[in-house]
């Protein structure tokens, strides 16, 4: 939003570029890229703490998220990425403790969530994009530093007597590894529960061969052969991974027009607009459908580049969502609207999915859409969609409505229409691994798949009958029902709503991803409010002082 959208708290911007990185160094050697941590101590995101020992704050993680995304779009030739440190004897000390200790509760929780999403993007690059990440631990990897390593596909630890992996949060800070560490330990790396228990209470961590025996790392190598071992692993990944054909696609700045007027603020992008009413604690996000005919060939799509509708829309919506999380914490309800030609959305959907079968760039666009919509699923804000005449809740944009806690569609003489497309049936799963349609109709097996036959646009009343919208007020009742729904939601406890929505949105199976957000993040959220961690003499508050923390010993 506007630069002073949230009072005196500094506004966080999430767009950056390698030319502006302060803490990461990105270099290339053919099909191998190196992403080196070299965190500058005196350049934190905000004043008040020093980024010692390659510790990171949100500013570092914004650079990491940008680097991962640019590698996927701008450097298709890269098939292995080595993540290492430029600082001696330290890979990464994790999230900066003084940053956490001085942050608001909301900032801490959103920081952990953003960092989790960055790690998941890295894992998706390994699984889907043919870019394999290798963590080269040439020093201590503690807390979030080891969590970054866990997100990589392969971990090599230097066996030099001092390099180690550790999760010191529980014994030292009375909190948890907040970016999925515990879940990745037992679900992803299949570390035995008893060994994971020991490891997670050893502040000094585990070194050398024991780290490999416990499955905490994949390889150990003596210092004399460490670089050679890492390079050999990178070359092995390159050799076993098919080359992606064609040049990369540059991701330019989005250049949003930010504004303030009469107590409201907002930003206008090309395909997304957002406005915030602070008094009502309400944000309205409007997505516009595509312009022009969809590309018929991979070459046409490449010429459009970052201006291809799906990609630009996804990048713009992504920027809006993280902005709302960090810079507008008091906004409790996000109203989602659309405008444009629903038939055009469906045509672009079918064209993109056809190209994605054989073209890496088209596939990356679909994956970017998936990541952005998952970020929407995970918003700790209520989501209401309003479909009106002129809306284009179709295909990709229908996912906005399916992600919402409620959808209102106007019926009557001038009514709204919605439509499905191939995007509705698999390419854009939620964190639970199901499509939003499958999650919606969990109690009616087969119904989601049966909706594939719905090739026509569906009017509001029919959409209500089919369970695709929540309410379909007519012309007479529409304004009152919308107003009452907004006012009622705004009157409820934000804490209760956050818990309620998180429990209702992810029906069905658990995945590692849903566990991270629904289980670990929920516990971290709770622990961040407990006096044992953040009280006057809590462990996080007392960190770095000579006095010991004081605990309330009652277990709850």
Supply the pLDDT for residue 6.
42
478-491 pLDDT, tens digit per residue, is: 999 999 999 999 99
User: Comparing 18-240 with 259-499, is the CATH topology the same?
Assistant: yes
- Among 55-64, 169-178, 235-244, name the one with the lowest average pLDDT: 169-178
- Among 62-71, 185-194, 395-404, 535-544, name the one with the lowest average pLDDT: 535-544
Full-model pTM: 0.95
Q: For tokens 């516990």, what's the residue?
A: 523
Contact 18, 26 (CB under 8 A): yes
Supply the pLDDT for residue 9.
64
CA distance 330 to 104: 13
Helix (H) or strand (E) holding 237: helix 226-240
- Please, which residues have CB within 8 angstroms of residue 354's CB and are 6 or more apart in sequence? none
303-318 pLDDT, tens digit per residue, is: 999 999 999 999 999 9
416-471 pLDDT, tens digit per residue, is: 999 999 999 999 999 999 999 999 999 998 999 999 999 899 999 999 999 999 99
What are the extents of the domains in the chain? 18-240, 259-499
φ and ψ of 35, to 5 deg: -115, 105
Q: Which DSSP symbol is given to 171?
A: I
DSSP string, 78-140: --EEEEEESSTEEEE--B-HHHHHTS-HHHHHHHHHHHHHHHHHHHHHHHHSS-EEEEEE-EE
DSSP string, 478-536: HHHHHHHHHHHHHTS-HHHHHHHHHHHH--S---HHHHIIIIIHHHHHHHTTSHHHHST
Q: pLDDT tier at 97 (50, 70, 90 boundaries)?
A: very high
Q: What percent of the chain has pLDDT over 70?
A: 98
Q: pLDDT tier at 521 (50, 70, 90 boundaries)?
A: confident
Helix (H) or strand (E) holding 136: strand 132-137
Q: pLDDT tier at 158 (50, 70, 90 boundaries)?
A: very high
Order of strands, edge to edge, in the sheet holding 264-268? 257-261, 264-268, 272-277, 282-288, 333-339, 382-387, 406-409
Q: pLDDT tier at 1 (50, 70, 90 boundaries)?
A: low
Q: For tokens 């299949």, what's the residue?
A: 190
CA distance 334 to 313: 17
Identify the CA nearest to 92 among candidates 60, 55, 57, 38: 55
Supply the pLDDT for residue 7.
41
- Among 334-338, 404-408, 451-455, 517-521, name the one with the lowest average pLDDT: 517-521
Contact 79, 237 (CB under 8 A): yes
Q: Determine how many CB atoms are found less than 10 A away from the CB of residue 226.
A: 22
Supply the pLDDT for residue 145.
97
- Among 118-122, 175-179, 291-295, 380-384, name the one with the lowest average pLDDT: 175-179
Question: Where does 259-499 sit in CATH, by number?
Answer: 3.90.226.10
CA distance 173 to 515: 22
CA distance 335 to 486: 9
Identify the CA nearest to 68 among candidates 121, 3, 147, 138: 121
Q: For tokens 């050398």, what's the residue?
A: 208
DSSP string, 426-456: TTS--TTSS-HHHHHTTTSTTHHHHGGG--S
- Structural tokens at position 452: 């594939």
Cα→Cα distances 56→6, 52, 175, Å: 24, 9, 17
Q: What percent of the chain has pLDDT over 90?
A: 88
Q: For tokens 């930003």, what's the residue?
A: 267
Order of strands, edge to edge, in the sheet holding 80-85? 24-29, 32-37, 80-85, 132-137, 154-159, 219-222
Supply the pLDDT for residue 346.
98
> What is the fold of 18-240?
2-enoyl-CoA Hydratase; Chain A, domain 1 (3.90.226)
Supply the pLDDT for residue 140.
97
Q: pLDDT tier at 4 (50, 70, 90 boundaries)?
A: very low
CA distance 409 to 386: 6
């Amino acid at each position: 939003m506007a630069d002073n959208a949230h009072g005196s708290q500094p506004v966080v911007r999430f767009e950056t570029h390698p030319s502006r990185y302060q803490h990461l160094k990105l270099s290339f050697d053919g099909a191998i890229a190196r992403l080196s941590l070299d965190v500058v101590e005196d350049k934190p995101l905000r004043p008040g703490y020093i980024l010692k020992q390659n510790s990171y704050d949100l500013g570092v993680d914004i650079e990491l998220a940008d680097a991962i995304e640019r590698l996927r779009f701008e450097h298709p030739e890269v098939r292995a990425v080595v993540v290492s440190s430029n600082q001696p004897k330290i890979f990464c000390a994790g999230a900066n403790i003084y940053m956490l200790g001085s942050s608001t509760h909301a900032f801490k929780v959103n920081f952990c969530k953003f960092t989790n999403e960055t790690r998941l993007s890295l894992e998706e690059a390994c699984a889907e994009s043919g870019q394999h990440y290798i963590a080269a631990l040439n020093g201590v990897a503690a807390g979030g530093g080891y969590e970054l390593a866990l997100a990589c596909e392969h971990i090599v630890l230097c066996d030099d007597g001092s390099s180690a992996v550790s999760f010191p949060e529980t014994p030292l800070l009375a909190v948890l590894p907040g970016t999925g560490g515990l879940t990745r330990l037992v679900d992803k790396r299949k570390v035995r529960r008893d060994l994971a228990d020991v490891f997670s209470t050893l502040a000094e961590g585990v070194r050398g061969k024991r780290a490999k025996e416990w499955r905490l790392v994949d390889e150990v190598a003596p210092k004399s052969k460490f670089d050679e071992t890492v390079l050999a692993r990178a070359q092995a990944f390159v050799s076993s991974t098919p080359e992606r054909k064609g040049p990369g696609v540059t991701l330019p700045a989005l250049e949003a027009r930010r504004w303030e007027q009469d107590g409201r603020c907002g930003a206008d992008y090309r395909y997304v607009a957002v406005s915030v009413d602070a008094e009502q604690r309400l944000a309205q996000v409007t997505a516009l459908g595509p312009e022009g005919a969809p590309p018929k060939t991979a070459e046409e799509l490449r010429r459009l580049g970052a201006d291809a509708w799906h990609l630009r829309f996804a990048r713009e919506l992504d920027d809006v969502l993280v902005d709302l999380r960090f810079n507008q914490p008091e906004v409790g309800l996000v109203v989602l609207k659309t405008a444009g030609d629903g038939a055009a959305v469906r045509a672009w959907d079918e064209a993109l999915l056809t190209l994605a079968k054989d073209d890496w760039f088209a596939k990356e666009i679909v994956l970017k859409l998936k990541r952005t919509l998952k970020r929407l699923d995970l918003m700790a804000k209520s989501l209401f969609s309003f479909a009106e005449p002129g809306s284009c809740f179709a295909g990709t944009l229908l996912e906005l409505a399916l992600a919402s806690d409620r959808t209102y569609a106007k019926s009557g003489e001038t009514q709204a229409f919605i439509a499905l497309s191939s995007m509705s049936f698999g390419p854009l799963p939620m964190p639970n691994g199901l499509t939003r349609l499958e999650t919606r109709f969990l109690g009616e097996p087969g119904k989601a798949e049966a909706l594939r036959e719905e090739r026509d646009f569906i009017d509001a009343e029919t959409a209500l009958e089919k369970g695709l919208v929540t309410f379909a007020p007519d012309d007479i009742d529409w304004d009152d029902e919308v107003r009452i729904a907004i006012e009622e939601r705004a009157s409820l406890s934000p804490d209760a709503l956050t818990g309620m929505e998180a429990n209702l949105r992810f029906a069905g199976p658990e995945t590692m991803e849903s566990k991270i957000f629904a289980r670990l993040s929920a516990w971290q959220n709770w622990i961040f409010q407990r006096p044992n961690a953040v009280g006057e003499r809590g462990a996080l508050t007392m960190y770095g002082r000579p006095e010991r923390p004081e605990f309330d010993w009652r277990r709850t």
